[in-house]
Chains A and B, each alone.
Chain A
Amino acid sequence: MAGLNHTLALKKNLDQRARERFTSSLRAYTLVDLADQLRSDYSEEQTAVEHPHQSGEDVHRFLKSRDLFKWYSSLRCTAQELVWQSTLRALDEDRTTLAGLSGVTQVAPEKSAVGGSLALDPKLSLPSYIDTMDVHLMPGNYQGDREDVSVHPGAVYDNGLEVFSFGVMGEHLDDIGHSMANFTRLRWPGLTVDTVVDVGCTIGHNTLPWKQAFPDAQVYGLDIAAPCLRYGHARAESLGVAAHFRQANCDQLPFDDGSVDVVFSSMFLHELPRNVINDFFKEAYRILRPGGLIIHMELPPNEALAPYDAFYLDWDCFYNNEPFYKEFRDLSYPALCRDAGFDESAFFQATLPRYTYVDEQEFRDAIDRTASFDEDTGRLSDTITWYAFGSRKQG
């Protein structure tokens, strides 16, 4: 584990670094070795059965009482808790790195060394569902408490994600952003990209790659969690990338009608209640200019997956405090786009290798192929493929 490569990275002593390496290894063991064992155990049990399981729910019901499932699941939750505990300890002990970042609410581009900005909205009304459950078992969630003026939740997320991802999500935990931005660049070479809006950006780790892929564009990162945006702004400054962070709800995007070229999100929709997803799509449609692109990096839909693979991904819904996850994945993604006003024929989906881990030709080849779904689609491992879907606004 290389550790975070920017100036906001928490200082960790030898034991803390060793503890994080352990947690990363434990996660890799659980999510690769044990997960493979769980799958092969299931396959053996299901060989030659008269009525094979038809859905992820069937598989889940079957596995729930099996010892290996309990073992795998309990270990996975424990590893997840260790991710955050090691980070919280580092945050308790390092009182200098993040000092001075608290309380910032506005930074104008001319005050930024790289031309980025921050605009928080203290009057913004936050939805109540974010306070009922700490997503991903992350203490404090993304927003901390309502009065949190620190950057701590952002730091917990950034440092925790580094441990969580056991090296498979890119140098700056930003491979999803690079993969999606470069997919856009290569698939639609004629697309004008002057304004990009990343909605639900948290700390902006997947926002900045859009500025790197489209250096002339104005790139915005939106979220409701002020501590993450505050941290994301400081992180962007540290990495020398100009991005504009805005506090806003996804169902009320602060952009004029037809003023945006690309609306992007990553791993965001599955954390939202259904009605908010619909409202977000309508807002995205409103702010896109004719010909503009909506692109979501997400988990693949259940309808595209074999029953076991559907079960495997839905595990997080039941056991990782992501209550809307399965309901989202049960939706028809083309219908979501269509219902927001996008033309049905403009729907696209893709399964892509990780841009920063392969050469550009291999990535291009994947763009030309039809999306294909297997056990690597969306499953965090060193062979993961990202899934994306979206549409273009007609005109």
Chain B
Amino acid sequence: MTQHSKTVRGGRPAFFDSPETDRLLAMIVRLLSEQSVLAERVKTLETLLDQLGVLTAEQIEQFTPSPQVDEAWMQTRMQLIKDVLESGANIEGSTK
């Protein structure tokens, strides 16, 4: 698929002491955007399931994972925490 260029002639300015800070802020905002997108997809699913009579909002709210499911989710959560918080650990001078 051909992609249209995202390059801006003339560039965009940076405001913080290091342009990397501007870049990190842009990344965080983009992540926030994707978080919002996912949340709206989940809400879309829940709304449609409710409207179609498959599940009610109440059933979703009352859901409690079984001990086995809870254990599996916990593993996944821990992995996510490590994946994220240990990113960049090789950067010289950064907090290990």
Contact = CB atoms under 8 A, between A and B. Distances in A.
A81 B12 contact: yes
Given A141-B9, A321-B10, A92 B4 contact: yes
Contact of A77 (B5, B10, B12, B34): B12
Q: Determine which residue in A134, A138, A319 has the highest number of CB atoms from chain B within 10 A of its CB, and name it.
A: A134
A78 B29 contact: yes
Given A19-B37, A88-B6, A139-B7, A77 B29 contact: no
23 contacts: A14-B41, A21-B36, A22-B32, A70-B15, A73-B15, A74-B16, A77-B12, A77-B22, A78-B22, A82-B33, A88-B6, A92-B4, A132-B10, A134-B8, A137-B8, A139-B4, A139-B6, A139-B8, A141-B9, A156-B4, A319-B12, A319-B13, A321-B10
Contacts of A21: 36, 40
Contact of A91 (B4, B8, B36, B44): B4
A92 B36 contact: no
A92 B4 CA distance: 7
A63 B33 CA distance: 28
Interface residues of chain A: helix, strand, loop or mixed (majority):
helix
Interface string B6-49: 11111011111000011001100110111011001100100000
Contact of B37 (A18, A88, A93): A18
A280 B89 CA distance: 59
Given A18-B40, A82-B29, A133 B13 contact: no
B8 A321 contact: yes
Given A14-B44, A78-B25, A92-B1, A22 B10 contact: no
Nearest to B15: A70
Contacts of A84: 6
A22 B37 contact: yes
Given A15-B41, A82-B29, A134 B4 contact: no
A78 B32 CA distance: 12
Interface of A: 14-15, 18-19, 21-23, 26, 69-71, 73-75, 77-82, 84-85, 88, 91-93, 131-134, 137-141, 152, 156, 318-319, 321
Given A81-B12, A319-B13, A140 B29 contact: no
Contact of A75 (B7, B12, B29): B29
Given A15-B41, A137-B12, A152-B4, 10 more contacts: A18-B37, A21-B40, A73-B15, A74-B21, A77-B12, A77-B13, A78-B25, A88-B3, A139-B8, A156-B4
Q: Determine which residue in A22, A23, A137 has the highest number of CB atoms from chain B within 10 A of its CB, and name it.
A: A22
A134 B12 CA distance: 10
Across the A-B interface, the 3 shortest Cβ-Cβ residue pairs: A133-B10, A70-B15, A18-B40
A26 B4 CA distance: 24
Contacts of B12: 77, 80-81, 137, 319, 321
A74 B25 contact: yes
B59 interface: no
A33 to B, nearest CB: 15
Contacts of A131: 9
B66 interface: no
Contact of A19 (B3, B4, B33): B33
